[in-house]
């Protein structure tokens, strides 16, 4: 994805959070958020603003800066504050063309609701789990949405929109220590700070491993196992129409749509 | 006679031009970064460094050392006498005779240089270097004849103006090469730059039989980290590059070059010279980087090195095995330069190739290169009943486990070593989960920030406990702990422990009689010297003594000891994985095969992994700790009879104490 002239005026906001390494529990750059930054850098290196709501002194934020950012904008707020009001207030004013987030945070609530809540507040369409922004033309973006098992769905979405970035997106570039330590952390007190009352009433504990049903592999040969692992899960009740007259197949589709109540 | 007035003029002009060239060259070096050197003591020490330390290296090639002594000695002597006889006109027959003999000496030396250049090995650079022996001969012969009248052997005006003209031409040629060329970048530049390089060497500890192999720490607060442009090198590093004689001994030893990876240490140094002086590599007349054409590279003092002068792949091909540095008769520090440039790529550009970035991320997040849970560092020893420093606070020996803890093959080495320690009743403990990666890989990959962070946390962990020695089975950790951690201790503190490799330590135990070993009953055995144990730390003897104790007669490989070839596993090379035509480990295994060995003893888990990665049939690979553990006569350890099996390793530690 080479940034072309078309994107010169494109403005992207990538929202980043403090991640958590699954093994060590140490703060780090979150994998999906880093992909969002990578996507932003590849699409519009000039018009990218990387945004964080929370503690401006979090060291993990510097790992994003090490990807080659001059600065990170931080809406400073307390530990228990809800990120959504502050972010939506700021984004409502700055009006970026695209808002990129991760699918879900690696720490904290990790509800995966950020993209939806922002979309609702800002009145923008939400696209989930995108893998790539292919191109932007005439105020519309051509996106690839990531589906399970490596499948992609091509979408065309009008700007502005909110998108969550899937792990299938291009891996983030390496974070370099030099630029990371020199980047500007532009902290500003968030205009609104709303205490997250719901979260405050919760108590956090490490997840307990729950018993898992053993997957009994019935396949006898390696080829069967491979098929079982990779084959597309087929939905029930499907019917494959093939090698029949077109009118017959069209009638079948029409009947189904009628039956499902899609058309009346 | 014409020469009477012409000679002094020629000599003066040549000298003046040479000095002008030297001043110009000095200004090129001074464009580098400041570095403190002891100016006068360096200069005072220079003759000794040249005549003793450098000579020791050159002496490995007897033909060349004798040739060089005659040629260079003859030249220096004759130059001094030429100044006396021909420039200052001292009329003394004996002085003239002395000059004649010096010139004969130089002539004889030059003849041998000439002879070697008749059919030069591929490692030697051609081009102007092929001209040098002729220039040397011309200088010696011309001055010889020109001096005969002064010695009274020939009458004045012998030969008339014709001979005078011929001699003048020869002298201009000779002095053009030897004096003018010295200042203006000819082959003789090596004499001028080389002597100053010896005087202002960045690692003066290397002279007088010492050793200095630890990398220098990066100032992480600097405006730019690592070396981007030639002027980002320290000035004396630039000077060092200029000292190169293009003998290609480095090239002949470089494992990456032999494997067809795009690295040739000699070319790299010459490219640095191109960089510091500006221009292109079109005039380079030696072997290219494998797979990269000569003549396309361009650079300048203020141009980014990796954009046009040296490909990053060249820098990442290096295994940091130090074979080039060990071999270099000019004591140039190739590895320092390579790591300096890697530092820029990693710390400023974020461009560590292949798995580099992932490994560094893992080291930052989990303190080990593979991203394992740091809390599982002791899982390998679940059945070993090891004492952990956190509990005991004090032990004679701290066993540095290293990241081998996470690797199942390396765990066999660790277990074997623990078995040996217990059999000898050594009072030892481990840091357990408080231990972190030593930082070796991070540092070699150029990430000095992560290295320093790991090192400082390791130092903090170690500082809580009391121990006299650290013993480790990993030569890379050994090197970091021994040679590189001292720079990172908090101000006013320094390490108060000794660091030993396990082969050294076991060898001590055996010598003290703390272990009883049975005879090794296998076939032929050879020994592979790990770079970080041998060349980095000079430990060649203990592993060999230990193998001898086991009754093994080592079938040495041709490349062994200080000339051992790298397994290909150092310097993060398996992580950056630059493609070549062959694998270094395969080449090493072929050398092992040449000895007819059925088993290769190693002292490094990285070497074990690399050599075991070679497809079978091949020699079996075993760490010396494993060989010793296999040979232990159990229950019959000299002192531990009454304890039965060593349930409490420090219950009886007399023997261990004796040697500690």
Subunit contact A177:B449, Cβ cutoff 8 A: yes
Q: What is the pLDDT of residue A230?
A: 73
pLDDT digits (tens, 9 = 90+) for B403-451: 999 999 999 999 999 999 999 999 999 999 999 999 999 999 999 999 9
With CA atoms as reference, report the closest residue to B550 among B635, B634, B640, B629: B629
Q: What is the pLDDT of residue A8?
A: 78
Tell me what the pLDDT averaged over chain A comes to. 89
Interface probe with A: pick from B345, B364, B406, B448, most Cβ of A within 10 Å: B364
Residues of chain A found within 8 Å of residue B450, distances taken between Cβ atoms: 177
| B383 DSSP 8-state letter | T
Closest-CA distance, A47 to chain B, in angstroms, reads: 21
Distance CA B247, CA B238 (A): 18
pLDDT digits (tens, 9 = 90+) for A141-194: 999 999 987 889 999 999 999 999 999 999 999 999 999 999 999 999 988 888
Locate the chain A residue with the closest alpha carbon to B226: A178
Task: Evaluate whether B502 touches B417 at the Cβ level (below 8 Å).
Answer: yes
Subunit contact A174:B352, Cβ cutoff 8 A: yes
Residues of chain A found within 8 Å of residue B364, distances taken between Cβ atoms: 28
Reported confidence tier of residue B120, pLDDT bands at 50, 70, 90: very high
**Neighbouring C-alpha atoms within 13 Å toward the C-beta of B128:** 17
Q: What is the pLDDT of residue A217?
A: 67
Nearest by CB to residue B366, choosing from A23, A68, A173, is: A23
With CA atoms as reference, report the closest residue to A86 among A56, A45, A46, A42: A56
| B480 DSSP 8-state letter | I
Residues of chain A with CATH 3.40.50.620: 5-200
The yes-or-no verdict on residue B650 having pLDDT over 60 is no
Q: What is the pLDDT of residue B221?
A: 95
Reported confidence tier of residue B574, pLDDT bands at 50, 70, 90: very high
Q: What values do phi and psi take at A131, rounded to 5?
A: -105, -25
Secondary-structure breakdown of chain A: helix, strand, coil percentages, each rounded to the nearest 5: 30, 25, 45
Tell me what the pLDDT averaged over chain B comes to. 93
With CA atoms as reference, report the closest residue to B23 among B12, B15, B35, B11: B15
Subunit contact B347:A178, Cβ cutoff 8 A: yes
Strand ranges (E), chain A: 12-15, 18-20, 27-29, 48-54, 71-76, 98-102, 126-137, 140-146, 152-158, 161-165, 184-189
Q: What is the pLDDT of residue B153?
A: 86
Task: Evaluate whether B574 touches B255 at the Cβ level (below 8 Å).
Answer: no
Subunit contact A28:B365, Cβ cutoff 8 A: yes
Alpha-carbon distance values, B135 to B105, B164, B553 (Å): 15, 18, 50
Closest-CA distance, A187 to chain B, in angstroms, reads: 22
Residues of chain B found within 8 Å of residue A181, distances taken between Cβ atoms: 220
When mean pLDDT is compared across B136-145, B231-240, B277-286, B638-647, the lowest value belongs to B638-647
Alpha carbon A47 to chain centroid, angstroms: 19
Q: What is the pLDDT of residue A201?
A: 84
**Average pLDDT rounded to a whole number, residues B152-180:** 89
Interface probe with B: pick from A20, A22, A23, most Cβ of B within 10 Å: A23
pLDDT digits (tens, 9 = 90+) for B489-498: 999 999 999 9
Residues of chain B found within 8 Å of residue A174, distances taken between Cβ atoms: 346, 350-352, 356-357, 360-361
List CB contacts of A93: < 8 A, sequence separation 6 or more.
Answer: none
Task: Evaluate whether A66 touches A33 at the Cβ level (below 8 Å).
Answer: no
Distance CA B656, CA B326 (A): 36
b/e map B581-615, b = 16+ CB within 10 Å? eebbbbbbbebbbebebebbbbbbbbbbbbbbbbe
Q: What is the pLDDT of residue B139?
A: 96
Q: What is the pLDDT of residue A236?
A: 58
Q: What is the pLDDT of residue B150?
A: 85
- For residue B588 the two structure tokens come to 């090493």
Distance CA B53, CA B197 (A): 13
| B485 DSSP 8-state letter | G
The yes-or-no verdict on residue B101 having pLDDT over 70 is yes
Please identify, in words, the CATH class of the domain defined by A5-200.
alpha beta
Subunit contact B372:A23, Cβ cutoff 8 A: yes
Reported confidence tier of residue B152, pLDDT bands at 50, 70, 90: confident
b/e map A91-121, b = 16+ CB within 10 Å? beeeebbbbbbbbbbbbbbeeeebbbbbbeb
Reported confidence tier of residue A110, pLDDT bands at 50, 70, 90: confident
Distance CA A107, CA A104 (A): 9
Locate the chain B residue with the closest alpha carbon to A20: B365
Q: What is the pLDDT of residue A234?
A: 56
Alpha-carbon distance values, B558 to B555, B590, B601 (Å): 10, 11, 15
Task: Evaluate whether A153 touches A144 at the Cβ level (below 8 Å).
Answer: yes
Secondary-structure breakdown of chain B: helix, strand, coil percentages, each rounded to the nearest 5: 55, 5, 40
Q: What is the pLDDT of residue B567?
A: 96
Subunit contact A23:B346, Cβ cutoff 8 A: no
Residues from B contacting A (CB-CB < 8 Å) are 220, 224-225, 346-352, 356-357, 360-361, 364-367, 371-375, 447, 449-450
Closest-CA distance, B519 to chain A, in angstroms, reads: 45
For strand B397-400 and strand B298-299, is the pairing parallel, antiparallel, or unpaired? unpaired
When mean pLDDT is compared across B48-62, B481-495, B625-639, the lowest value belongs to B625-639
- For residue B159 the two structure tokens come to 């030969």
pLDDT digits (tens, 9 = 90+) for B368-382: 999 999 999 999 999
The yes-or-no verdict on residue B283 having pLDDT over 60 is yes
Q: What is the pLDDT of residue A226?
A: 81
**Average pLDDT rounded to a whole number, residues B351-360:** 95
For strand A12-15 and strand A98-102, is the pairing parallel, antiparallel, or unpaired? parallel
Nearest by CB to residue A24, choosing from B352, B357, B374, is: B374
Q: What is the pLDDT of residue B24?
A: 96
- For residue B332 the two structure tokens come to 């140039």
Return the residue matching tokens 């081998």.
B404
Distance CA B273, CA B257 (A): 20
Reported confidence tier of residue A1, pLDDT bands at 50, 70, 90: very low
Q: What is the pLDDT of residue B269?
A: 97
Subunit contact B220:A28, Cβ cutoff 8 A: no
- For residue B316 the two structure tokens come to 């990442």
Nearest by CB to residue A174, choosing from B350, B367, B375, is: B350
Subunit contact B367:A174, Cβ cutoff 8 A: no
Kind and range of the H or E element at B599? strand B599-602
Kind and range of the H or E element at A211? none
**Average pLDDT rounded to a whole number, residues B76-104:** 92
- For residue B89 the two structure tokens come to 């006109």
Distance CA A44, CA A7 (A): 6
Task: Evaluate whether B303 touches B229 at the Cβ level (below 8 Å).
Answer: yes
Closest-CA distance, B338 to chain A, in angstroms, reads: 18
Residue pairs between chains A and B whose CB atoms are closer than 8 Å: 55
The yes-or-no verdict on residue B279 having pLDDT over 60 is yes
- For residue B434 the two structure tokens come to 């408080």
List CB contacts of A245: < 8 A, sequence separation 6 or more.
Answer: none
**Average pLDDT rounded to a whole number, residues B241-264:** 97
Subunit contact B220:A176, Cβ cutoff 8 A: no
Q: What is the pLDDT of residue A225?
A: 80
Q: What is the pLDDT of residue A233?
A: 60
Task: Evaluate whether B244 touches B190 at the Cβ level (below 8 Å).
Answer: yes
Q: Which of the two residues, A242 and B586, has the higher pLDDT score? A: B586
With CA atoms as reference, report the closest residue to A49 among A28, A30, A71: A71
Which residues does residue A187 pair with via DSSP β-bridges, in sequence order? A74
Nearest by CB to residue A179, choosing from B348, B357, B365, is: B348
Reported confidence tier of residue B649, pLDDT bands at 50, 70, 90: very low
Q: What is the pLDDT of residue B102?
A: 96
pLDDT digits (tens, 9 = 90+) for B311-355: 999 999 999 999 999 999 999 999 999 999 999 999 999 999 999
- For residue B572 the two structure tokens come to 């993060």
The yes-or-no verdict on residue B365 having pLDDT over 70 is yes
Task: Evaluate whether B501 touches B531 at the Cβ level (below 8 Å).
Answer: no
Nearest by CB to residue B348, choosing from A21, A26, A176, is: A176
Locate the chain A residue with the closest alpha carbon to B224: A178
pLDDT digits (tens, 9 = 90+) for A224-247: 888 777 766 655 566 778 888 989
Q: What is the pLDDT of residue B457?
A: 97
Q: Degrees (nearest 5) of the Cα angle B152, B158, B162? A: 145
Reported confidence tier of residue B479, pLDDT bands at 50, 70, 90: very high
The yes-or-no verdict on residue B652 having pLDDT over 60 is no
- For residue A132 the two structure tokens come to 């790539």
Interface probe with A: pick from B365, B376, B451, most Cβ of A within 10 Å: B365
């Amino acid at each position: 994805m080479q940034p072309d002239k078309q994107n010169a005026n494109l403005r992207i906001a990538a929202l980043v959070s403090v991640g958590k390494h699954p093994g060590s529990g140490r703060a780090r750059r979150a994998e999906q958020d880093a992909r969002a930054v990578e996507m932003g850098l590849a699409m519009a290196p000039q018009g990218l603003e990387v945004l964080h709501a929370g503690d401006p002194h979090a060291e993990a934020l510097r790992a994003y800066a090490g990807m080659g950012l001059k600065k990170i904008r931080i809406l400073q707020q307390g530990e228990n504050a809800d990120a959504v009001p502050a972010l939506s207030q700021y984004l409502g004013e700055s009006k970026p063309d695209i808002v990129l987030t991760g699918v879900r945070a690696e720490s904290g609530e990790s509800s995966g609701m950020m993209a939806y809540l922002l979309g609702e507040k800002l009145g923008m369409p939400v696209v989930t789990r995108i893998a790539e922004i292919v191109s932007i033309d005439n105020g519309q973006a051509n996106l690839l949405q990531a589906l399970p098992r490596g499948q992609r769905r091509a979408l065309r979405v009008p700007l502005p929109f909110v998108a969550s970035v899937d792990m299938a997106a291009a891996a983030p570039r390496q974070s370099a220590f030099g630029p990371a330590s020199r980047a500007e952390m532009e902290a500003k007190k968030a205009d609104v700070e709303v205490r997250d009352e719901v979260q405050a009433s919760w108590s956090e504990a490490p997840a307990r491993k729950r018993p898992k049903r053993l997957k009994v592999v019935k396949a006898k040969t390696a080829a069967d196992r491979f098929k079982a692992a990779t084959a597309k899960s087929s939905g029930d009740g499907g019917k494959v129409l093939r090698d029949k007259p077109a009118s017959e197949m069209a009638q079948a589709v029409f009947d189904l749509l009628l039956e499902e109540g899609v058309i009346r | 006679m014409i020469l009477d007035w012409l000679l002094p003029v020629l000599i003066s002009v040549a000298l003046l031009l040479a000095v002008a060239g030297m001043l110009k060259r000095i200004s090129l070096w001074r464009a580098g970064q400041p570095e403190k050197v002891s100016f006068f003591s360096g200069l005072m020490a220079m003759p000794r460094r040249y005549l003793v330390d450098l000579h020791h290296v050159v002496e490995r090639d007897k033909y060349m050392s004798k040739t060089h002594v005659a040629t260079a000695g003859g030249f220096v002597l004759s130059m001094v006498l030429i100044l006396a006889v021909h420039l200052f006109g001292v009329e003394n027959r004996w002085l003239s005779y002395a000059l004649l003999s010096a010139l004969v000496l130089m002539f004889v030396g030059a003849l041998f240089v000439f002879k070697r250049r008749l059919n030069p090995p591929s490692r030697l650079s051609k081009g102007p270097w092929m001209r040098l022996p002729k220039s040397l001969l011309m200088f010696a012969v011309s001055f010889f004849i020109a001096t005969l009248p002064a010695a009274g052997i020939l009458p004045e005006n012998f030969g008339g103006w014709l001979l005078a003209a011929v001699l003048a031409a020869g002298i201009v040629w000779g002095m053009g090469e030897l004096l003018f060329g010295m200042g203006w970048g000819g082959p003789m530049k090596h004499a001028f730059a080389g002597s100053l390089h010896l005087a202002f060497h960045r690692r003066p500890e290397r002279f007088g039989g010492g050793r200095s192999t630890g990398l220098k720490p990066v100032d992480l607060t600097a405006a730019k980290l690592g070396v981007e442009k030639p002027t980002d090198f320290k000035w004396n590093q630039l000077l060092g590059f200029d000292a190169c004689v293009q003998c290609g001994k480095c090239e002949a030893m470089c494992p990456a070059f032999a494997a067809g990876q795009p690295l040739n240490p000699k070319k790299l140094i010459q490219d640095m010279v191109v960089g510091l002086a500006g221009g292109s590599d079109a005039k380079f007349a030696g072997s290219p980087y494998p797979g990269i054409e000569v003549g396309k590279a361009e650079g300048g003092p203020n141009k980014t090195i990796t954009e046009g002068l040296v490909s990053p792949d060249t820098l990442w091909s290096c295994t940091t095995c130090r074979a080039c540095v060990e071999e270099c008769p000019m004591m140039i520090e190739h590895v320092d330069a390579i790591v300096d440039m890697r530092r820029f790529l990693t710390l400023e550009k974020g461009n560590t190739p292949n798995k580099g970035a992932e490994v560094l991320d893992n080291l930052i997040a989990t303190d080990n290169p593979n991203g394992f849970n740091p809390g599982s560092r002791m899982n390998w020893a679940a059945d070993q009943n090891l004492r952990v420093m956190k509990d005991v606070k004090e032990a004679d020996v701290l066993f540095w486990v290293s990241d081998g803890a996470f690797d199942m093959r390396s765990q066999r080495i660790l277990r074997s070593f623990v078995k040996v320690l217990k059999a000898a009743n050594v009072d030892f403990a481990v840091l357990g989960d408080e231990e972190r990666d030593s930082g070796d890989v991070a540092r070699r990959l150029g990430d000095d920030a992560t290295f320093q962070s790991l090192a400082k946390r390791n130092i903090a962990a170690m500082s809580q406990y009391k121990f006299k020695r650290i013993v480790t089975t990993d030569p890379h950790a050994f090197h970091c702990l021994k040679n590189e951690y001292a720079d990172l201790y908090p101000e006013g503190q320094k390490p108060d422990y000794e660091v030993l490799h396990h082969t050294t330590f076991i060898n001590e135990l055996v010598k003290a009689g703390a272990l009883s070993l049975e005879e090794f009953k296998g076939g032929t055995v050879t020994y592979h010297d790990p770079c970080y144990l041998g060349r980095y730390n000079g430990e060649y003897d203990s592993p060999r003594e230990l193998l001898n104790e086991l009754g093994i007669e080592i079938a040495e490989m041709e490349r062994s000891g200080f000339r051992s070839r790298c397994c290909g596993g150092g310097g993060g090379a398996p992580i950056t994985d630059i493609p070549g035509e062959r694998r270094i480990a395969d080449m090493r295994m072929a050398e092992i095969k040449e000895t007819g060995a059925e088993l290769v003893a190693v002292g490094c888990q990285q070497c074990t992994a690399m050599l075991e990665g070679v497809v079978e049939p091949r020699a079996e690979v075993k760490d010396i700790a494993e060989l010793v553990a296999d040979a232990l006569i159990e229950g019959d350890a000299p002192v531990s009879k009454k304890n039965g099996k060593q349930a409490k390793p420090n219950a009886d530690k007399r023997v261990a104490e004796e040697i500690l």
